[in-house]
Structure 1
Amino acid sequence: MSGELSPREGPDPALLRISDAERHQVAELLREAAGEGRLDLDELDERLAATYAARTYADLVPITADLPTQAPTQAPTQASGRTAPAQVDGPERESHVAVMSGLKRSGTWTVPRQMTVFAMMGGAELDLRHATFTADEVTLTINVFMGGATVVVGPRTRVVMEGVGIMGGYSGPSGLVDADLDPSSPVVRVRGVAIWGGVSVERKQG
């Protein structure tokens, strides 16, 4: 029928608005590129200005087109139904001590970029499944002495284990749930020393 309207399509993902967290992510990538000699200082200043002025994913594309990048210059596709995990403002660092006591964080909470935990003859449990991150990669430095710590993550979290066990151990991620990772998956880096104790990472359904 002449003049009949076609079904309404969704918005172009490339024209979706970007967040401050994504601007900061691209800015960090530019600073790393300058540190590697890929950009001179004038180019860095120009691209940083363009980054903080960007409004959409399409605006970010030319800024990093000639750089090795994992920054969010490509909008999430409608077909996949997946978006990058939410990031929020929060503390850069946190430190916690559990001596003959316990530390537990679960439910909705904010994971800082750097978190340090020391447990002596005590324990710690950090459940990240419903937490929000202040960065796309966070580092948990967990040191235990005659104690233990457990980190719980969901299927979509990438885990990097860098801990050392001395008459103890670092283990994981383990669990009955398989990892379901993609390029937008947040990274949790777990490091530290376990002496006569243990640190484990478990993967569970959210």
Structure 2
Amino acid sequence: MKGVVMPLFEAERELAVQRLQHAYADGYLDSAEMEVRLEQALTARSPGNLATALAELPDERVELVSTGGQIRRSGGWRVPRSLRVVGEYGGAKLDLSSADIRYPALEIELRLAYGSAHLILPLRASVDYDRVRFTWGSASHRPPRNAGPSTLHVQVSGELGYGGLKIRHR
């Protein structure tokens, strides 16, 4: 069946093209390399072919840092696949309930010395926060009732010195 493109999830292909475009705009790819990789992504016959088009691109990881204030994100903000939140004096409030989330799973690493973290998740999101360590503080999570199957999984890790972690669903 040479020449026939097997169906791939269009969302995966679209995300791959967007990631290539961002890498090109950020200077990680020159125009010739962009053209080759874009052709690979658009004609990919398997997830492996799609991965080849994205090979050696930098991971999408964003770091939010504050030395003396609260880190806040809410509304339609675009959530990266991996988010690292670092704060010395102040906490973090991340509202994912109406955010632009393009991945089925997210990683959030919290590094807060003096401050608490508050996460607001979409109704049908699952969360794992077993890899969060506390010096003084604790975690509280109130899962929703009858939310249905999970459409997003959030993995939370890190360390909170003097503060807690509160997780709620919208």
1:23 offset after TM fit, Å? 8.6
Establish whether residue 152 from structure 1 lines up as the match of residue 120 from structure 2: yes
Q: 1:116 aligns with which of 84, 90, 95?
A: 84
Please name the residue that 1:105 is paired with: 73
Give the letter for the 2:46 counterpart. T
User: Which one of 135, 142, 151 corresponds to residue 166 of structure 1?
Assistant: 135
Distance 1:24 1:111, change over 3 A: closer
Output the amino acid matched with 2:156: V
Is residue 2:12 matched to residue 1:21?
yes
Distance 1:131 1:196, change over 3 A: same
Shift of 1:174: 1.7
Q: 1: distance between equivalents of 2:114 and 2:105?
A: 29
Q: Which has the larger Rg?
A: 1
Query: Residue 51 of structure 1 corresponds to which residue in structure 2?
Result: 46
3-state SS of the aligned residue for 1:50? coil
Aligned to 1:180: 147
Unaligned runs of 5+ in 2: 1-6, 17-42, 48-58
Query: 1:191 corresponds to which residue?
Result: 157
The answer as to whether partners of 1:158 and 1:181 remain within 8 angstroms in 2 is no
Structure-2 separation of matches of 1:24 and 1:121? 36
Paired letter, 2:157: R
Higher strand share: 2
CA-based RMSD = 2.9
Q: Which runs of 4+ in 1 moved over 6 A?
A: 22-25
Secondary structure, counterpart of 2:46 in structure 1 = helix
Would you say the 8 A contact 1:174–1:201 is kept in 2?
yes
Residue type of the alignment partner of 1:151: L
TM-score normalised by length of structure 1: 0.54
TM-score (norm 2): 0.64
Q: AA paired with 2:140?
A: G
Structure 1: which amino acid aligns with 2:113? F
Q: Residue by residue, what CA displacement relative to the aligned partner does 1:39-62 show, whole Å, maximum 9, x if unpaired?
A: xxxxxxxxx95326xxxxxxxxxx
* Residue 24 of structure 1, CA deviation: 7.6
Residues 153/120 of structure 1: CA separation in 2 closer, same or farther (3 Å cut) = same
